Amino acid sequence: MKARDVVLTGLMLFSLFFGAGNLIFPPYLGMEAGTAVWPAIAGFIITGVGLPLLSVAAVAFVQDGIRSLGQGVHPLFRFCFSLAVYLAIGPFFGIPRAASVAYEIGAKPFFPASGSLVMWLFTGVFFALVYWLSLNPSKLVDRIGQWLTPMLLLSIAVLCLAGLIRLDDPQAEPVEKYASAPLAKGMLEGYLTMDTIAALAFGIVVIQALRDRGIDRPALQAKATIQSGVIAAAGLALVYAGIAGVGARMAGAGSFANGAELLSHVSSLLFGSGGKVLLGVIVALACLTTAIGLVAACAQYFHELTPVVSYRAYVTALTLFSFVMSNLGLNALIAVSVPVLTMLYPLAIVLVVLSFFHRFFRGSAKVYGMALLFTGVFSLYDGFKAMGVETAWLEPLLSWAPLFSVGLGWVVPALIGAVLGFLIDWPTVMNRKHAA
What's the whole-number mean pLDDT along residues 348-371? Answer: 89
Please check the confidence at residue 254 and state whether its pLDDT lies above 80: no
Which ranges of 49-181 does DSSP label H, i.e. alpha helix? 50-62, 75-89, 94-101, 116-134, 140, 149-166, 176-179
Please check the confidence at residue 434 and state whether its pLDDT lies above 60: no
What's the whole-number mean pLDDT along residues 215-230? Answer: 90
Please report which helix (H) or strand (E) contains residue 296, including its range. Answer: helix 273-305
Q: What angle do CA 341, 345, 428 make, to 5 degrees?
A: 135
Please check the confidence at residue 364 and state whether its pLDDT lies above 90: no
CA 259 distance to own-chain centroid: 17
Least confident of 100-114, 155-169, 200-214, 278-292: 100-114
What's the whole-number mean pLDDT along residues 126-138? Answer: 94
Distances (CA, A) of 172 to 29, 44, 360: 13, 20, 48
Exposure of 254 by Cβ count < 10 A (0-12 exposed, 13-18 middle, 19+ buried)? exposed
Looking at residue 99, its pLDDT comes to 92
Least confident of 212-216, 406-410, 429-433: 429-433
Q: How far apart are CA 68 and CA 73, in angstroms?
A: 10
Residue 156: φ, ψ to 5°: -65, -40
Task: Calculate the average pLDDT of the chain.
Answer: 89
Please check the confidence at residue 436 and state whether its pLDDT lies above 70: no
CA 111 distance to own-chain centroid: 30
The answer to whether residues 418 and 372 touch, using CB atoms and an 8 Å cutoff, is: no
Burial 210-239 (b: 16+ CB within 10 A, else e): beebebeeeeebbbbbbbbbbbbbebbbeb
Please check the confidence at residue 409 and state whether its pLDDT lies above 80: yes
Looking at residue 427, its pLDDT comes to 76
The more confidently predicted of residues 302 and 429 is: 302
The more confidently predicted of residues 72 and 270 is: 270
Q: How far apart are CA 379 and CA 339, in angstroms?
A: 10
Q: What size, in residues, is the chain?
A: 436
Of 284, 337, 24, give the one whose Cα is nearest residue 130: 284
Please check the confidence at residue 196 and state whether its pLDDT lies above 70: yes
Please check the confidence at residue 334 and state whether its pLDDT lies above 80: no
What's the whole-number mean pLDDT along residues 399-413? Answer: 91
What's the whole-number mean pLDDT along residues 50-67? Answer: 85
Q: How far apart are CA 250 and CA 322, in angstroms?
A: 36
Looking at residue 30, its pLDDT comes to 94
- What's the pLDDT band for 1 if we cut at 50, 70, 90? low
The more confidently predicted of residues 107 and 65 is: 107
Q: How far apart are CA 195 and CA 395, in angstroms?
A: 27
Q: How far apart are CA 59 and CA 259, in angstroms?
A: 32
Looking at residue 433, its pLDDT comes to 59
- What's the pLDDT band for 301 if we cut at 50, 70, 90? very high
The answer to whether residues 92 and 336 touch, using CB atoms and an 8 Å cutoff, is: yes
The answer to whether residues 421 and 350 touch, using CB atoms and an 8 Å cutoff, is: no
- Domains along the chain? 3-330 (1.20.1740.10), 357-436 (no CATH)
Looking at residue 432, its pLDDT comes to 61
What's the whole-number mean pLDDT along residues 181-209? Answer: 88
DSSP designation for 334: H
Q: What angle do CA 410, 411, 417 make, to 5 degrees?
A: 85
Q: How far apart are CA 168 and CA 166, in angstroms?
A: 7
What's the whole-number mean pLDDT along residues 356-361? Answer: 86
pTM comes to 0.91
Of 173, 154, 156, give the one whose Cα is nearest residue 246: 156
Give the three-state DSSP class for 215.
Answer: coil
Least confident of 52-66, 142-156, 234-248: 52-66
The answer to whether residues 326 and 97 touch, using CB atoms and an 8 Å cutoff, is: yes
Looking at residue 360, its pLDDT comes to 84
The answer to whether residues 249 and 168 touch, using CB atoms and an 8 Å cutoff, is: yes
- What's the pLDDT band for 435 if we cut at 50, 70, 90? low
Q: How far apart are CA 62 and CA 162, in angstroms?
A: 43
What's the whole-number mean pLDDT along residues 135-146? Answer: 89
Looking at residue 429, its pLDDT comes to 63
